[in-house]
Amino acid sequence: MRFNKYYLLLSLFLSLLFLVILLWSYLNKIDNKLIESRIRIVEKQATTKIEENIKIRVDAIKLLTKTLQLQKSLDSTKFMNNASIYYKNYNGFQAINWINKSGVIQWVYPYKGNEKAYGEDLHYHPDKNCRTTFLNAERMKEFSITPVIKLLQGGYGVVIYSPVLKKGEIVGYVNGVFNLYTFFNNILKDFNELYSIKISEGGRIYFNNSNEKNVKGYIISEFKLGSDTFDIFMRPRQVRVYHKIRSLLIILLGTLFSFSITLFVWILFKNIDEQKIANEKIYEMYKELHQKQHEFNTVIENNTDGILRVARTGEIFQVNEGFFRITGYDKNDKYPKNILEYTDNGNRERLKIKMEKLITHNGTERLFEMEIRRKGGDIAIVEFNIIPI
């Protein structure tokens, strides 16, 4: 029975713990839906911002190209002044260069950080995609943008070639260079503090503002840059911390709750057992008392002397046949129910004092005589023996 009880308590604890886990799972599911809904909005904003900024910078290169086409003459000073204005007003550029009509990078802005690009002939660029894109711009005399390539300056990016035409002939190219990490970091700086962001293309990660490698739980969207399609992964930075703290609190409080309920039930079982044992003891005591009472009553009933049990006030609540014989009453008579009523005033007070004295001092007094009034009014002298019980 004890084993079954402990098994029941264990089952109760595990069941309550299971309910806590279900609650935790349900709350996580609700939170994830709310977070996903919010992230979809934020991600759309981020994607739109990237696409808009790409378009703005592409348009800026095209505008710079038109500006240079309208100038009667072109020298390094004029180009560098124009390039510096666009570079400073449109952050995210790695460099804005001038490529002469022979395909050699002639002027570089800013020079610092882009030294490796200076003097390079794009016909011999180490990246095939870069060579192909430049040759297309050269042959077709049109604006061209590379897929993601490894930049001469280091890192990965995309490169724009915009031919500058005068009288239908190419006099050079405006070359816009975007380092993807620098570009994304500048464009998404308003999102970096609150969100973990990863941007990849073809399985390669080009931007990651966190140390996390696992993209599980991120919301995925897409945007285009030139001919490439990029995936963007976003998740609130505090979600993992929040989920860990809340999960820990739910598990701890849930375990405490389950333990408290189980402990309460255990105490309840214990009290029931103790009460059961107490009831059994009371029953045994009552049984023993009943047996003794029966034996006592048998002694009283079978005694030839007159025996009566009275309260402290003298009220009679048990008599035997001897009492009726001495007093002359029959058990069916309405006999006086108080021992003091069988005596006259003088003896009544005497008997009352003796009873009080004996009860108070828990003593006994044997064989004192006293007159009593029997049925019919006659007087009898009887011998009293008062025993407190």
Which tokens sit at 14? 């595990």
In a domain, 255, yes or no: no
Domain shared by 128 and 227, yes or no:
yes
pLDDT at 92: 82
Under 8 Å between Cβ of 39 and 236? yes
149-159 b/e with 16+ CB inside 10 Å = b?
A: bebbbeebbbb
Domain count, the chain: 2
Residue with tokens 């009523």: 341
- Cα 250 from Cα 269, distance rounded (Å): 28
Domain shared by 198 and 334, yes or no:
no
pLDDT at 142: 93
Which tokens sit at 193? 């503090």
Looking at 213-332, list the stretches that DSSP marks H as alpha helix, in order from N- to C-terminal side.
238-302, 321-327
Q: What is the pLDDT along the chain (389 residues), one digit of tens a residue?
A: 455 777 777 787 788 778 878 887 777 777 777 667 777 777 788 888 888 888 998 999 999 999 999 888 888 898 999 999 999 988 888 999 999 999 999 999 999 989 989 999 999 998 999 999 999 999 999 999 999 988 888 889 899 999 999 988 999 999 999 888 988 888 888 888 788 888 888 888 889 888 766 656 666 778 888 778 888 888 877 666 666 777 777 777 778 888 888 887 888 877 877 888 888 888 888 888 778 777 777 777 777 777 777 777 778 777 778 778 787 888 788 888 887 878 877 777 777 777 777 766 665 555 567 777 788 778 877 766 666 66
Question: Where does a domain end: 217, 236, 255?
Answer: 236
Domain shared by 47 and 164, yes or no:
yes
In a domain, 284, yes or no: no
Question: Where does a domain end: 203, 236, 269?
Answer: 236
Q: Tell me, what amino acid is at 29?
A: K
Which tokens sit at 76? 């390094």
What is residue 337's three-state secondary structure? coil
Q: Tell me, what amino acid is at 176?
A: G
pLDDT at 289: 77
* Burial of 237 from C-beta contacts in 10 A (0-12 / 13-18 / 19+): middle
Domain shared by 309 and 228, yes or no:
no
Under 8 Å between Cβ of 63 and 85? no
Domain shared by 184 and 70, yes or no:
yes
Domain shared by 330 and 230, yes or no:
no
- Find the Cα–Cα–Cα–Cα dihedral 345, 348, 354, 360, rounded to 10°: -110
- Domain extent at residue 316: 303-384
Angle formed by the axes of helices 76-89 and 2-70, nearest 10°: 150
Question: Where does a domain end: 204, 220, 236?
Answer: 236
C-alpha atoms less than 13 angstroms from C-alpha of 78 in its C-beta half-sphere: 11
| CB atoms near residue 33 (< 10 Å) | 10
